[in-house]
Amino acid sequence: MANPSLLILPGDGIGPEIMAEVHKIIEWFGAKRGLHFDVSEDLVGGAAYDAHGVPLTDETMAKAQEVDAVLLGAVGGPAYDDLDFSVKPERGLLRLRKEMDLFANLRPAQCFDALAGFSTLKPEVISGLDIMIVRELTSGSYFGEPRGIFEENGERVGINTQRYTEGEIDRVARAAFDLARKRDRRVCSMEKANVMESGILWREVVQAVRDADYPDIELSHMYADAGAMQLVRDPKQFDVIVTDNLFGDLLSDVAAMLTGSLGMLPSASLGVPMENGRPKALYEPVHGSAPDIAGQGKANPCACILSFAMALRYSFDQGEEADRLESAVENVLSKGLRTPDLMQKEGSTPATTSEMGDAVIAELEASL
């Protein structure tokens, strides 16, 4: 039986540094747990533009379509700000999402006990937080047509179109309900049905899917702006949140900062099943490429490591090993080891990117 395949795209900025730590962890799972992967690596974003003049080559796109999962570091940086929009680094990531049909973006917001003090919210509000935002990723205002900047009556007009079909809403709703069945069986759907027709359709379809096939799931509806307010007022009222592309982008960033550091948050983007039954999938940390600290050993690799843990769980059916890796990260944090983004004045031991990765491996060893 062939090993599961994994395409690694380190990308730009701190991407190669944090991905180097994931490489070490992949090697550990092969050596110590007999869990072997066929790993290949390629370019995306600014790195691909520098080498090929495009943020993602057709050849790399074809590889991404064939493997069991893609793990991406980060893309972008000020060196590429003046490029034409069509070849900016972020277009490589958007192409991956669109052509792989990765319609469901899973963004967990979990507050490790050791990091509760990093949130701007009171510890009692944030401690023990464990929510999941499911964001529709391939439609809505980021992809709707018409779009662009046009001349109209002697002035420029910027146009983006919010567009959803019943089928697009249906499938992301099902992804959220299936996930909720593995959690606390509660879903809150967020839109703007009070002012947007797309929101009305969203609410109707999500409710219909629940009533027809998921009667065991408790479903509530909330306007997205009220949802943002509730996320910072009482975040633990939520379990799974499902929402559209634009609101999901905003709400997941709000949820990310509840935990105190973007450097800790992974994400998964899941698509339609392949021939082997596994969904097409791309895993990436929520944070950006942080070019200001690239190459200095200051980057926090935990979000990228936790993204690999999500790959273990959702693409490779290795839930027990995913738990092992997540516990290793939590144990490292509980012992006070910190990259600069997580440093506190007291009780913290400074660590480089590589030292943090080594500490995670030490905890994996201790788990055996």
User: Length of the chain in residues, anyone?
Assistant: 368
pLDDT means per 10 residues, the chain with 368 residues, are 93 97 98 97 98 98 96 96 94 92 93 79 84 94 93 96 97 94 95 98 98 98 98 95 96 83 84 81 93 95 96 93 95 91 76 97 96
The catalytic residue among 101, 253, 323, 358 is 253
Is 358 catalytic? The answer is no
CB 136 within 8 A of CB 162: no
Two structure tokens written together for 71: 């793990």
All structural domains of the chain, each given as residue ranges with its CATH number in brackets, are 1-123+263-368 (3.40.718.10), 130-258 (3.40.718.10)
Q: b/e map of 9-31 (b: 16 or more CB within 10 Å)? A: bbbbbbbbbbbbbbbebbebbee
Two structure tokens written together for 85: 């929009």
For 295, left (φ over 0), alpha (ψ -120 to 50), or beta?
left
pTM (two decimals): 0.87
What is the spatial order of strands in the sheet that 38-41 belongs to? 38-41, 5-11, 69-74, 279-285, 266-273, 104-110, 130-136, 240-243, 186-191, 218-223
Two structure tokens written together for 35: 């869990």
Distance separating alpha carbons of residues 199 and 217, to the nearest angstrom: 21
User: What's the pLDDT score for residue 222?
Assistant: 98
User: What's the pLDDT score for residue 168?
Assistant: 97
Is 122 catalytic? The answer is no
Q: Is 151 helix (H, G, I), strand (E, B) or coil?
A: strand
Is 80 catalytic? The answer is no
Nearest by Cα to 286 from 97, 74, 128, 142:
74
Two structure tokens written together for 274: 């392949």
Is 225 catalytic? The answer is yes
User: Phi and psi dihedrals of 253, rounded to 5?
Assistant: -70, -35
The catalytic residue among 80, 164, 192, 214 is 192
Is 164 catalytic? The answer is no
User: What's the pLDDT score for residue 77?
Assistant: 95
The catalytic residue among 12, 68, 249, 341 is 249
- ∠ at Cα 238 (235, 239), nearest 5°? 130
Distance separating alpha carbons of residues 45 and 195, to the nearest angstrom: 36
The catalytic residue among 49, 142, 164, 314 is 142
Q: b/e map of 164-184 (b: 16 or more CB within 10 Å)? A: beeebbebbbbbbbebbeeee
The catalytic residue among 50, 170, 184, 225 is 225
Distance separating alpha carbons of residues 4 and 61, to the nearest angstrom: 18
